[in-house]
Chain A
Amino acid sequence: MSLAVRIENVSKVYPLGKTSVQALKNIELAIQEGEFTTIAGPSGCGKSTLLNLIGCMDTPTTGEVYVEGQPISQLKDKELTRLRLEKLGFIFQSFNLIPVLTVYQNIEFPLLIHGGFTKKERAARIDALMEEVGLQPQAQQKSNELSGGQRQRVAIARALVTQPRIVLADEPTANLDSATGERIIDLMKTINRTHKTTFIFSTHDPQVMKQASRVVRLKDGAVLEA
Chain B
Amino acid sequence: MQVLELSSLIVKVAFRNLWLYRLKTVVIASLLGFGSFLSIVGLTLLRDVEATMQESIIGSVAGHLQMYSKKAKDDLAIFGSTFMGRQDIGVLEDISTYRDALLRHPEVQAVIPMGIDMGMLGRGNEMDESLDVLRAALKGGDPVIINERVEQLGFQIEQLGRELAERKKVTQDQVEVVKEEADLAKVKEAAFTESVARGDESALQYLETRIAPLSGEKLPIYLMYLGTDIDLYRQNFPKFRVVAGEVLPPGQRGIMLSNKVREDQLKNTAARLFDKLNKRVVKLKIPIKGDAENLRLVQDLPRQYNQIMAYLDRAEAVELHESLKQLGIPATEGTLIAQLVQQVKDFLKVDDQNFEARYRWFYEQIAPKIKLYEISPGETILLRSYTKSGYIKSLPLKVYGVYSFQGLEDSDIAGVMNIIDLVSLRELYGQMTESSLKELQEMRSQVGIKEIAAENAEDALFGDGAAATVESRVEAPTPAPQATIQVKPVIPDMFDVTEVGKGLALNAAIKLKDDVKLQDLKESLEKDLKSQGLDVKIVDWQQASGFVGQFVVIVRLVLIFALGVIFVVALVIINNSIIVGTLNRIREIGTMRAIGAQKSFVVEMFLAETAITGLIGSCVGTFIALGLLIWLGDYGIPSSHDVVTFLFSGPRLYPKLHPGIILLSPLFVTGVATLASVYAARHAAHVTPAEAMQEKE
A211 beta carbon closer than 8 Å to chain B? no
Indicate if the CB atoms of A48 and B694 lie closer than 8 Å. Answer: yes
Which among B590, B597, B692, B693 is the interface contact of A113 at CB below 8 angstroms? B597
Which among A92, A116, A159 is the interface contact of B2 at CB below 8 angstroms? A116
B594 beta carbon closer than 8 Å to chain A? yes
Indicate if the CB atoms of A112 and B693 lie closer than 8 Å. Answer: no
Do A105 and B9 contact each other (CB < 8 Å), given the known contacts A84-B596, A96-B591, A113-B596? Answer: yes
B173 beta carbon closer than 8 Å to chain A? no
Indicate if the CB atoms of A101 and B12 lie closer than 8 Å. Answer: yes
Indicate if the CB atoms of A96 and B596 lie closer than 8 Å. Answer: no
Interface core residue of B1, B598, B601, B690 (most chain A CB under 10 Å): B690
B695 beta carbon closer than 8 Å to chain A? yes
Interface core residue of A93, A96, A118 (most chain B CB under 10 Å): A96
Provide a sorted-by-A list of 29 A–B residue pairs whose CB atoms are within 8 angstroms.
A48-B693, A51-B693, A57-B689, A57-B693, A58-B688, A58-B690, A81-B593, A84-B594, A85-B596, A90-B594, A92-B591, A92-B594, A92-B692, A94-B695, A94-B696, A96-B588, A96-B594, A96-B692, A98-B591, A100-B16, A101-B12, A101-B13, A112-B6, A112-B9, A113-B592, A113-B601, A116-B2, A170-B693, A175-B697
Residues of B within 8 A of A159 (CB): 595
Number of interface residues of B (CB under 8 A): 31
Indicate if the CB atoms of A92 and B597 lie closer than 8 Å. Answer: no
Which among A58, A90, A100, A115 is the interface contact of B6 at CB below 8 angstroms? A115
Indicate if the CB atoms of A100 and B596 lie closer than 8 Å. Answer: no
B426 beta carbon closer than 8 Å to chain A? no
B64 beta carbon closer than 8 Å to chain A? no
A82 beta carbon closer than 8 Å to chain B? yes
B520 beta carbon closer than 8 Å to chain A? no
Q: Distance (Å) between the CB of B103 and the closest chain A CB?
A: 68
CA A172 to CA B696, docked complex, whole Å = 12
B599 beta carbon closer than 8 Å to chain A? yes
Interface string of A93-128 (1 = CB under 8 A from B): 111101111000100011011111111000000000
Residues of A within 8 A of B537 (CB): none
Q: Distance (Å) between the CB of A58 and the closest chain B CB?
A: 6
Do A98 and B13 contact each other (CB < 8 Å), given the known contacts A57-B689, A85-B596, A115-B6? Answer: yes
Residues of A within 8 A of B253 (CB): none
B5 beta carbon closer than 8 Å to chain A? yes
A158 beta carbon closer than 8 Å to chain B? yes
Residues of A within 8 A of B601 (CB): 113
Which residue of the partner chain B has the closest CB to A112? B6
Q: Distance (Å) between the CB of B353 and the closest chain A CB?
A: 70
A52 beta carbon closer than 8 Å to chain B? yes
- Name the interface residues of A39-87: CB closer than 8 Å to any CB of B: 48, 51-52, 55, 57-58, 77-78, 81-82, 84-86
B587 beta carbon closer than 8 Å to chain A? yes
Number of interface residues of A (CB under 8 A): 40
CA A158 to CA B598, docked complex, whole Å = 17
CA A114 to CA B596, docked complex, whole Å = 8
Q: Distance (Å) between the CB of A107 and the closest chain B CB?
A: 11
Residues of B within 8 A of A93 (CB): 693, 696
Do A110 and B596 contact each other (CB < 8 Å), given the known contacts A105-B9, A116-B2? Answer: yes
Interface string of B256-277 (1 = CB under 8 A from A): 0000000000000000000000
Q: Distance (Å) between the CB of A171 and the closest chain B CB?
A: 9
Residues of B within 8 A of A51 (CB): 693
CA A99 to CA B591, docked complex, whole Å = 12
CA A122 to CA B692, docked complex, whole Å = 26
Interface string of B4-30 (1 = CB under 8 A from A): 011001001101100000000000000
CA A158 to CA B595, docked complex, whole Å = 9
Indicate if the CB atoms of B588 and A98 lie closer than 8 Å. Answer: yes
CA A93 to CA B597, docked complex, whole Å = 19
Residues of B within 8 A of A170 (CB): 693
Q: Distance (Å) between the CB of B282 and the closest chain A CB?
A: 64
Residues of B within 8 A of A86 (CB): 596
Which among A77, A81, A101, A105 is the interface contact of B596 at CB below 8 angstroms? A81
CA A114 to CA B583, docked complex, whole Å = 26
Indicate if the CB atoms of A109 and B595 lie closer than 8 Å. Answer: yes
Indicate if the CB atoms of A112 and B2 lie closer than 8 Å. Answer: yes
Residues of B within 8 A of A55 (CB): 594, 689
Interface string of B583-626 (1 = CB under 8 A from A): 00001101111111111010000000000000000000000000
CA A52 to CA B601, docked complex, whole Å = 21
Indicate if the CB atoms of A84 and B689 lie closer than 8 Å. Answer: yes
CA A119 to CA B6, docked complex, whole Å = 12
CA A88 to CA B5, docked complex, whole Å = 23
Indicate if the CB atoms of A113 and B6 lie closer than 8 Å. Answer: yes
- Name the interface residues of B559-598: CB closer than 8 Å to any CB of A: 587-588, 590-598
Q: Distance (Å) between the CB of B19 and the closest chain A CB?
A: 8
Residues of A within 8 A of B599 (CB): 77-78, 81
Residues of A within 8 A of B596 (CB): 81-82, 84-86, 110, 113-114, 162
Interface string of B653-697 (1 = CB under 8 A from A): 000000000000000000000000000000000001110111111
Indicate if the CB atoms of B594 and A94 lie closer than 8 Å. Answer: no
Residues of A within 8 A of B6 (CB): 112-113, 115
Residues of A within 8 A of B593 (CB): 81
Q: Distance (Å) between the CB of A152 and the closest chain B CB?
A: 12
Which residue of the partner chain B has the closest CB to A161? B595
Residues of B within 8 A of A162 (CB): 596
Do A84 and B595 contact each other (CB < 8 Å), given the known contacts A48-B693, A116-B2? Answer: yes
Indicate if the CB atoms of A110 and B690 lie closer than 8 Å. Answer: no
Q: Distance (Å) between the CB of A123 and the closest chain B CB?
A: 12
Which residue of the partner chain A has the closest CB to B8? A112
Residues of A within 8 A of B594 (CB): 55, 57, 84, 90, 92, 96
Residues of A within 8 A of B597 (CB): 81, 85, 113
Which among A85, A99, A116 is the interface contact of B595 at CB below 8 angstroms? A85
CA A38 to CA B601, docked complex, whole Å = 32
Residues of A within 8 A of B689 (CB): 55, 57, 84
Q: Distance (Å) between the CB of A173 and the closest chain B CB?
A: 14
Which among B1, B15, B595 is the interface contact of A110 at CB below 8 angstroms? B595
CA A118 to CA B1, docked complex, whole Å = 9
CA A119 to CA B2, docked complex, whole Å = 9
CA A93 to CA B696, docked complex, whole Å = 8
Q: Distance (Å) between the CB of A96 and the closest chain B CB?
A: 4
Indicate if the CB atoms of A99 and B587 lie closer than 8 Å. Answer: no
Given contacts A94-B697, A112-B5, 14 further A-B contacts (CB under 8 A): A77-B599, A93-B696, A96-B587, A96-B692, A98-B13, A99-B16, A100-B15, A109-B592, A110-B596, A112-B9, A113-B597, A115-B2, A118-B1, A119-B1
Q: Distance (Å) between the CB of A223 and the closest chain B CB?
A: 21
CA A98 to CA B595, docked complex, whole Å = 12
Residues of A within 8 A of B12 (CB): 100-101, 105
Indicate if the CB atoms of A92 and B588 lie closer than 8 Å. Answer: no
Residues of B within 8 A of A175 (CB): 697
CA A225 to CA B565, docked complex, whole Å = 65
CA A94 to CA B596, docked complex, whole Å = 18
Interface string of A141-180 (1 = CB under 8 A from B): 0000000000000000011001000000010000100000
Residues of B within 8 A of A85 (CB): 595-597
Residues of A within 8 A of B9 (CB): 101, 105, 109, 112
Interface core residue of B13, B595, B598 (most chain A CB under 10 Å): B595
Q: Distance (Å) between the CB of B37 and the closest chain A CB?
A: 30
Residues of B within 8 A of A77 (CB): 599
Residues of A within 8 A of B690 (CB): 52, 57-58
List 7 A-B pairs, minimum CB-CB distance, nearest first.
Answer: A85-B596, A100-B16, A94-B697, A96-B591, A57-B689, A57-B690, A84-B596
Q: Distance (Å) between the CB of B6 and the closest chain A CB?
A: 5
Q: Distance (Å) between the CB of B598 and the closest chain A CB?
A: 5
CA A78 to CA B592, docked complex, whole Å = 14
Q: Distance (Å) between the CB of B569 and the closest chain A CB?
A: 30
Residues of A within 8 A of B694 (CB): 48
Which residue of the partner chain B has the closest CB to A52? B690
CA A105 to CA B8, docked complex, whole Å = 11
Q: Distance (Å) between the CB of B433 and the closest chain A CB?
A: 86
